[in-house]
Amino acid sequence: MHALLGVSGLKKVYEGSGRRVEAVRDLTFTVEAGELVCLVGPSGCGKTTLLKCMGGLLTPTAGEVHLAGRKVSGPPPGMAFVFQEYGRSLFPWMRVADNVELPLKQKGLTKARRRELVTDALDSVDLAEAAGAYPWQLSGGMQQRVAIARALAYEPEVLLMDEPFAAVDAQTRADLEDLVRRLWRERGITILFVTHDIDEAVYLGERVIVLSASPTVVQEQLKVDLPDERDQLHTRVAPRFAELRTHVYEQIQAAKRGVVRDAAVTKSDTPPLH
């Protein structure tokens, strides 16, 4: 059996105005169909760069990304992206339902099918009643749910989520985490979830991939053997959860010490302007 999503030898170097920044050095890992994998690493370790390479938004300097056996050389139709900046990812001039529907129009689906998918997606994120609102009339958490609904309606094989809950408050964040778990279990989609929050990674993931500091390599891969049924109240106080998060925490600390040894590298998570 081969993996749904494969990253092999990925390397990304930014070159601009005399500066050369190696954001990702050499990354290799796979994601099986139906898995929920969390990528976690110290801030500034090139997580966003990696995800953008996988989503076909950036061309890697070396190495390859494969989706379902095909090489990714541009945004593949089987992938949907949820960005951290929900406020800038939804189109403010379109109502919520239109935002969700727009990518489907491009796919050439019939009107009836589009409506069905939009309603279904908004229902699963509990925003059916907000279909006629503009995104800026909603709270931050609701906006991110719209972005998730847009991704669901797109019916992707893989859902890429780039620190999607970094900009919302703690309570909303917990709700959104449970939403992602529920959607994953209900729909059986493959999710790759990038975060800098260790608790979030362990709570959400079936597997956690710990990245090193920039220039990035895989520090460790960890199977999360918590039960399928998780909830904020009990899972987070379970002894196994504490063990796992301590382990990941230590790995990240080790990764950070790597930064100190190699002081020449940049700490920026976002690519330099070019």
Partner 1 sequence: MKRLLLRLVLVLALPALLVVVWWLASDSSTDVFWPPLRTILRTFPDVWTADRLRDDVLPSIWRLTAGYALAAGAGVAVGTVIGSYRRVRAVCEPVLEFLRAVPPPVLIPVIMLFAGIGDTMKVTVIASGCVWPILLNTVEGVRAVDPVMLETARSYGITGQSRLRNLVLRSASPQIFAGLRQALSIGIILMVISEMFAASNGIGFTIVQFQRSFAVPDMWTGILVLGLLGFLLSVLFQLVERRVLAWYHGLRASARRSP
Looking at beta carbons only, is 98 or 175 nearer to partner 1? 98
CA–CA separation, 183 and 102 (whole Å): 22
Looking at beta carbons only, is 102 or 218 nearer to partner 1? 102
Instruction: Give min distance, CB of 155 to partner 1, in A.
Output: 12
Sorted by sequence, the CB contacts under 8 Å of residue 171 that are 6+ apart come out as: none
Looking at beta carbons only, is 58 or 252 nearer to partner 1? 58
Looking at beta carbons only, is 159 or 208 nearer to partner 1? 159
Instruction: Give min distance, CB of 133 to partner 1, in A.
Output: 10
Q: Are 78 and 68 in contact (CB under 8 A)?
A: yes
Instruction: Give min distance, CB of 64 to partner 1, in A.
Output: 19
Instruction: Give min distance, CB of 110 to partner 1, in A.
Output: 17
Instruction: Give min distance, CB of 68 to partner 1, in A.
Output: 16
Distances (CA, A) of 42 to 75, 194, 215, 254, 259: 27, 11, 11, 10, 10
Residue 81, CB-side half-sphere exposure with 13 Å CA sphere? 20
Instruction: Give min distance, CB of 91 to partner 1, in A.
Output: 7
Looking at beta carbons only, is 85 or 178 nearer to partner 1? 85
Looking at beta carbons only, is 51 or 180 nearer to partner 1? 51
- Chain contacts with partner 1 (rule: CB under 8 A): 52, 55-57, 75, 77, 79-81, 83, 85, 88-89, 91-94, 102-103, 105-107, 134, 136-137, 150, 154
3-state SS of 30-92 is EECCCCEEEEECCCCCCHHHHHHHHCCCCCCCEEEEEECCEECCCCCCCEEEECCCHHHHCCC
